[in-house]
Amino acid sequence: MSTGDETLLEELLSGKHRALARTISKIENRSPGYRDLVSELYAHTGDADVIGITGSPGAGKSTLVDKLAETYRERGETVGIIAIDPSSPFTGGAVLGDRIRMASTVGDMDVFVRSMSARGTLGGLSTATADAVKAMDAFGKDKIIIETVGAGQNEIDIVRTADTVAVLVPPGSGDDIQTLKAGILEIADVFVVNKADRDGADRTVQELREMIALDDGGGLGGGHHGPDASTHHGGDDGSPEGESERDSAWTVPIVETVATTGDGVEALVDELAGHRTYLVESGERASRSRKRHAEEIRTLLREDVHTMLEAQLERSGGVDELADDVRRGETDPYTIANELLSPVERCLERLETERPTRN
Amino acid sequence: MTTTQGEIRCLVAKVGLDGHDRGAHVIARAFRDAGFEVIYSGLHKAPEEIVQAAVQEDVDVLGISILSGAHDTLVPKVMNGLEEYDAKDDTLVLVGGVIPEEDREGLKDEGVAAIFGPGTSIEETVEYVRENAPER
């Protein structure tokens, strides 16, 4: 690690805000040396509770996050917030506006708000988010909140970085719940019906309740539980090992909130804490973090191999040249891929005989 | 690493009590269309709030829009705050709005890099940011 990065790490660990901000920038930009920095951060992480908040645009995420942060601060806990906004796929530019709604805690540096844009990088944002969470964790934040629009696979990957995921459902979603349930509703550990003072809130709560009841019966989610998941009694017999992703011992609670006034926020904080207790006691926290780290390792490897292969492509005359060969009918993509990969395969075969040992 | 064009982060801030944010909106949009990442502060922000946002977001550029005439008290507060968090040297601070000629020198002494008054073209501002955004 360069001396500059060593100073940065030291300053971050000693609580200098500027250093945390700069570290996150390095992570976002993938500046040289950021990997060493993040890998040094790992030793100092693991204490923070990571909460994901997702929901459709206009559901009230930013306002709710603001009130959550305020409540945590009143309880004497420090808060980090990562607010993710989409960026324009055309210019890469973005207007990140979540900060406007986070007004309850302004002037309080112990609430660290960081806006991130998707920057059009495939899969990259979830890695960057996870690393930014590590930085905030190492900095010493007690609660870290990730806020993102629940619009697709990319967002779901981001929110999986969290230990506990709250999904916001605005009232009057009505039939939408039917279409939602196949997507982001499955990742919910807690449902929040925000704007609960509006018409249709009761009905939305009712619909969610029915859906959760179905889920507990193993009906929803298809292959989620598998054919042998006949846990109709809904008891807490869930053994931590070998369970399906949604442990049947946790029944997803529904919290009604009015984020603009703060109604129901205390209840939400309690449910989030309840889920954390459940995670720890059931052993689910360990199994989730194992899964998450496995995914991190895979993603890193995929990116690294990708970079190596791009270099290899360059050496063999560039992808355009090869593509032209395919166009002229001289070869095909499969043959080219095989040719490019064969040296890699030979290397791996050689490694088979001399198994790598971890240092 | 040198800051490449797509990675310029800006905070567009409205500080003080005036409620005229058309200019700030226009600039925020223009910056976005230029490929910058823009964080917009919203109206009526106190200098401390602007400092907090600029530090936490680690912006390269801070554009302050003031139309109230209170620039000679508000801007120094922002600059001092940035200095307190060790962020003054590598943040390009711009001021937009109605700033009388005789006040400009004072603001520049405070550390403001450029002042864009009424009639400045958007292209000029974007170009200035591209050329002067700090390399990190």
Domains of chain B: 5-132 (3.40.50.280)
| 8 Å CB contact between A184 and A248 | no
In this structure, what token pair is assigned to residue A326? 């395919």
Cβ contact B42:B32 at 8 Å:
no
Question: What pLDDT digit, counting tens, does each position of B60-82 carry?
Answer: 999 999 888 888 889 999 999 99
Q: By CA distance, what is A33's nearest residue in B?
A: B1
Eight-class DSSP state of A224: G
DSSP 3-state percent helix, strand, coil across chain B (nearest 5): 45, 20, 35
> To which residue do tokens 């106190």 refer?
B46
pLDDT the model gives residue A241: 41
Please identify which residue in the block is written with the tokens 């005359």.
A317
Q: Which residues contact A46 (CB under 8 A, 6 or more apart)?
A: A137
Report helix, strand or coil for A225. Answer: coil
B84 pLDDT band, cuts 50/70/90, is very high
What pLDDT, on the 0 to 100 scale, is given for residue A242? Answer: 41
Interface of A with B in 18-57 (CB under 8 A): 18, 21-22, 24-25, 28-29, 31-32
Token pair 């962020």 is at which residue? B87
CB atoms A100 and B37 under 8 Å: no
pLDDT of residue A32: 83
The side-by-side arrangement of strands in the sheet containing A190-193 is A111-117, A79-85, A143-149, A49-55, A164-168, A190-193, A254-256
Report residue B78 as tokens: 């922002």
- Written as one string, the DSSP assignment of B106-117 is HHHHHT--EEE-
Cβ A191 vs Cβ A167: under 8 Å: yes
B7-65 residue pLDDT tens: 799 999 988 877 788 888 889 889 988 988 899 888 888 899 899 999 999 999 999 99
Chain A residues closer than 8 Å to B56 by CB = 17, 21, 112-114
Q: CB A106 to CB B36 under 8 A? A: no
How many other C-beta atoms lie within 10 A of the C-beta of residue A356?
6
ipTM of the complex: 0.85
> What pLDDT score does A231 carry?
39
Q: Cα–Cα distance between B84 and B95 in angstroms, integer?
A: 20
For residue A223, the 8-state DSSP code is: G
Nearest to A112 by CA among A99, A128, A130, A127: A99
- Phi-psi label, residue A232: left if phi above 0, alpha if psi -120 to 50, beta otherwise: alpha
- Residues in B touching A84 (Cβ below 8 Å): none
Domains of chain A with bracketed CATH: 45-282 (3.40.50.300), 299-353 (no CATH)
Q: Which residues of chain A are under the pLDDT cut of 70?
A: 86-94, 118-124, 150-155, 173-185, 215-248, 353-359
Give the distance, in angstroms, between the CA of residue B20 and the centroid of all CA atoms in the same chain.
Answer: 16
Element (H, E) at B29: helix B22-33
H runs (alpha helix) in chain A = 3-13, 17-29, 34-41, 61-74, 124-139, 153-159, 176-180, 201-216, 265-282, 284-315, 318-327, 333-353
Cross-chain residue pair A21–B58, CB shorter than 8 Å? yes
DSSP per-residue codes, A242-273: T--SS-TT-PPPEEE-BTTTTBTHHHHHHHHH
Per DSSP, what are the bridge partners of residue A180?
none
- Please, what is the angle between helix A3-13 and helix A17-29, to 10°? 130
Q: Return the residue matching tokens 């801030």.
A: B13
Q: Which tokens hold the place of B82? A: 């940035």
Contact assessment for residue A50 and residue A144, using Cβ atoms and an 8 Å cutoff: yes
- How many beta carbons lie within 10 A of that of residue A153, not counting itself? 10
Task: Residue A135: list chain B partners with CB under 8 A.
Answer: none
* Contact (CB, 8 A) for B15 and B50: yes
